Amino acid sequence: MSHSQTLGQRLRQQSTAALLGFAALFLSLSVAISVGAVQIPLSTVWGVFANQLIPDLVEQTWSQGREAIVWEIRFPRALLAMMVGAGLAIVGASLQAVTRNSLADPHLLGISSGGAFGAILALLHTGLFIGLLTVPLMAFLGALMATAIVLGVTRFADAASADRLVLAGVAVSFIIMACANVLIFLGDPRATHTVVFWMLGGLGLAQWDQLVYPLAILVLSGAWLFTQAGSLNAMTVGDETASTLGIPVTRFRRLVFVAGALVTGVMVAFSGLIGFIGLMVPHVVRLLFGGDYQRVLPWSALLGAIFLLWADIVARTIMAPEDMPIGIVTGLTGGVFFVWILRQRAET
């Protein structure tokens, strides 16, 4: 078989996989909007969507209550799930490249804890001093602070290896969460119930007018990370190899950490602490599609969005009509996956 035929076959396989992936995403989105305490037919779901785009395009055969459930509650919730899943997955994949550690994850490296600290500080103590942007801004600053502390600890402890970087992240995460608990303890007891959202993770507060913030950050940071796929590939080989290719290793690693802190901080601000997505999804992607970051990043975003949609479906249906915090679902799944990774590492 000639090179051109091989290339054509590979492109057809990639196109087929992409079509199947987007079909799975569309199906997952449809199911996420349809199921819940009130079951809504898929025809109603997309009829409401069509009429919102073009009024009276579809004859309305559903009640105003069902339309409100679909458009005002479940649609923004499902879209937020897609953004958060995609964002955390690409951050995890990028961190695993620059740390050369398959266990790197925004949750394990303390970035998520820093974002939660900033969000809790805004909710309980500073107030919304710049309106709706206060919580995302404070969450980003908290995530950036956590990133700086982790990098500072690794330098102070001379923990340059990737494994020690993860250990430093875990230690910093415990410290920051202890400080966050102090903020909760000192806060107004009548307002602390809102903090449960951040601590356990949830998508129930998603609103249309707020989705623009995580979307903008995901698009900008994700686009930059996608353009750096070649550099991320080089970083997985080693710092020396990356340096010989002209990559400013230290500066690039810091930029990836800052981009990861930005995405994680904003996602945490809107969804609370949702762990292990950045750990699990890139591993699955590499098993299915290889380690080239030109495939790892887009597929991580796609599978991360699908995974969190289904995690939210489980969270909303397993104890219906009550919503289980989605962080519990991802934590249980991620914990099992983490043990599996440790087992695989032990066998190699």
Per-residue pLDDT of the chain (348 residues; tens, 9 = 90+): 555 667 677 778 778 888 999 999 999 999 999 988 888 888 888 988 988 888 878 888 888 888 899 899 899 999 999 999 999 999 999 999 988 877 778 877 788 888 888 888 888 887 777 776 787 788 888 888 888 888 788 777 665 555 677 777 888 888 998 998 888 888 777 777 777 766 777 887 788 888 988 999 999 999 999 999 999 999 888 878 888 888 888 888 888 888 888 888 888 878 888 878 888 899 889 988 888 999 999 999 999 999 999 999 998 888 777 778 888 888 888 888 778 777 776 666
Give Cα separations from 194 to 58, 98, 187, 213, 329 (angstroms). 39, 35, 11, 21, 20
Question: What domains are there in the chain, each with its CATH number?
Answer: 88-347 (1.10.3470.10)
Evaluated on CA atoms 322, 328, 330, 335, the torsion sign reads negative
Query: What would the two tokens of residue 217 be?
Result: 């950050």
Predicted TM-score (pTM) above 0.75: yes
Evaluated on CA atoms 144, 334, 26, 32, the torsion sign reads negative
Distance between CA atoms of residues 207 and 271, nearest Å: 12
Distance between CA atoms of residues 232 and 291, nearest Å: 10
